[in-house]
Amino acid sequence: MTSGRLLVPVSESVALRNTVAYAVRHVVESKAAEGAVHFVYPYSPQMVTGMDTSGVDELLERVEVWADDDLGDDAGAVDVQTAVIGAGEYLFSPGDYADVLAEYGEREDLETVVLDPEFSPSGTTPLLPPLEAELERAGFEVLEAPVERPTRRARLVRGGNVGQFLLVAALSFGFYLLIGGSLSTFDLVTGGLSGVIVATVLWRVCFSGPVRPGRLLKRIGRMSVYTFYLVWEIVIANLQIAYVVLHPRLPIDPKMVEFDAAVWSEIPVTTLANSITLTPGTLTVDVDSQSFTVHSLTAGARDDLFSGGLERAVRFVFYGRAAARIPSPRERGEEGSDDGGAES
């Protein structure tokens, strides 16, 4: 039996985001007529959490935003509430916590408790197993939010051809001789052996598709040009960061922005993402196929990002000169798709 009315005690914890998602999903799936999730914070002034009431309110507010996020279209069907309980009482043992939770649960007619696996309002004391027992004795059904999440994975091993095998072997052999720094018979033999081993193990992992040597050489050539450009950008970026960090007033205006980059496939996207991370006040937080979520430190950094110099350079490396002329994100109208954060 699954109940559609849940009581979720919350505290500052690393698994909180996940617990909220689990509780919301649980209610939605139960298809209960009067689904409800109550997030409660057992608060006691004596607790040594270093948190005052404003911190608690902020936490509950955050939880509510997450719950709305997860509910999406079902927002109307489920009643989400937050409350601070136990204020003014002295909460110490798991029994105390169970008592205030049980009292609240009975008042609000909730039958199931979802526990955060990292729930620990009193700091470091291991509270969970005894709390679970106490709550079950009080007549609640107790669920612990699972920590594993469903995962979608990319393919590890891809198709390959002989060219790929030889290329990996050659790369490995060359690298072996480079770090060995000698051309003695011993090094040549062991180097060849490791080339074969490395290629056997990794030949279908290293490349995303069949290798075309001509195109690869061109890319490597353009890559070396790009490296100089990148190093220059990195130095400029760091001087800017140094100015910002050492400035007495810390003139930063951080903000998350999202934009769709005009690069395709794995390696170019990664090159662009890592270049973004290394250059002016920008940090790639997430990439979903072409959509980049970037955290930017200053308004100037955002400007540079949208004017698309790096993106153009990466396109030049991987697709040649013609592709470099694709318009910049600003010209494509990508600018302004700010995500959350402050208004500019």
Partner 1 sequence: MTLLTTALFAATAAFVALSVVIVYRIVRGPTMQDRVIAVNAVGTNTVVVIALIGAATDDPGVLDIALVYALLNFLMSIAISKFTVERGGVM
Partner 2 sequence: MSNGNDENGDENLGERLYVESPIIMATVRVVAPFVLTFGLFIMFHGADSSGGGFQGGVIVSTVVLMVAIAFGIEPTRDWVDPTTIVAVMGIGVSVFLLIGMGSVALGGRFLEYHAYPVYHASKYGIELVELAIGVIVASVVVGLFFAIAAGVSHGDDAEPAESEGLL
Partner 3 sequence: MVTITEGAVVALLAGGVFFGLVAAVGLLRLPDLYTRTHAASKTDTLGAGLTLAAVAVVYDAGLPTVKAGLLLVFLLITNPTAAHAIARAAADQGIEPWTAEDGGDEQ
Contacts for 192 with CB less than 8 Å, ≥ 6 apart: 173
Candidate list 46, 50, 109, 155; residue touching partner 2; CB under 8 A: 155
Query: Residue 318 burial by CB count (10 A; 0-12/13-18/19+): exposed, middle or buried?
Result: buried
Residues that bind partner 3 (CB under 8 A): 14, 16-18, 62, 66, 178-179, 181, 234-235, 237-238, 241-242, 245-246, 250, 252-256, 273-274, 277-279, 281, 283-286, 293, 295, 297, 340-342
Q: What is the DSSP letter of 334?
A: -
Closer to partner 2 by Cβ: residue 25 or 312: 25
- Residue 202, SS3 per DSSP: helix
Q: Does 184 bind partner 1 (CB under 8 A)?
A: no
- Strand ranges inside 61-111, DSSP E: 78-85
Tokens representing 164 are: 């790929």
149 near 167, Cβ under 8 Å? Answer: no
Candidate list 15, 21, 32, 138; residue touching partner 2; CB under 8 A: 21
Q: What is the DSSP letter of 141?
A: E
What track of x and - describes contact with partner 1 for positions 124 through 163 (by CB under 8 A)?
---------------------xxxxx-x------------
Strands 5-9 and 35-42: parallel
Sole residue written with tokens 């940090």 = 283
Candidate list 1, 33, 48, 156; residue touching partner 2; CB under 8 A: 156
Closer to partner 2 by Cβ: residue 172 or 240: 172
Residue in 338, 333, 238 with CA at minimum distance from that of residue 294: 338
Instruction: Write out the binding residues for partner 1, residues 18-57 only, by CB under 8 A.
Output: 18-19, 22
Question: Number of residues in contact with partner 1, rule: CB under 8 A?
Answer: 16
Give the containing element (helix H, strand E) for 112. Answer: strand 112-115
Q: Does 201 bind partner 2 (CB under 8 A)?
A: yes
* Cα→Cα distances 178→134, 135, 172, 173, 291, Å: 65, 65, 10, 9, 38
Binding window for partner 1 (CB under 8 A); candidates: 15-23, 85-93, 102-110, 256-264: 15-23
Q: Does 118 bind partner 1 (CB under 8 A)?
A: yes
Name beta bridge partners: 291.
Answer: 260, 288
Q: Taking the complex as a whole, how short is the minimal distance between the CB of residue 344 and partner 3, in angstroms?
A: 10
What does the alpha-carbon distance between residue 15 and residue 317 come to, in Å, rounded to a whole number? 41
Closer to partner 1 by Cβ: residue 15 or 326: 15
Given the rule CB under 8 A, which residues bind partner 2? 18, 21, 24-25, 28-29, 65-66, 69-72, 74, 144, 146, 148-157, 168, 171-172, 175-176, 179-180, 190, 193-195, 197-198, 201-202, 205-208, 256, 258, 266-267, 269-270, 273-274, 284-288, 291, 293, 339-340
Given the rule CB under 8 A, which residues bind partner 1? 13-19, 22, 117-118, 145-149, 151
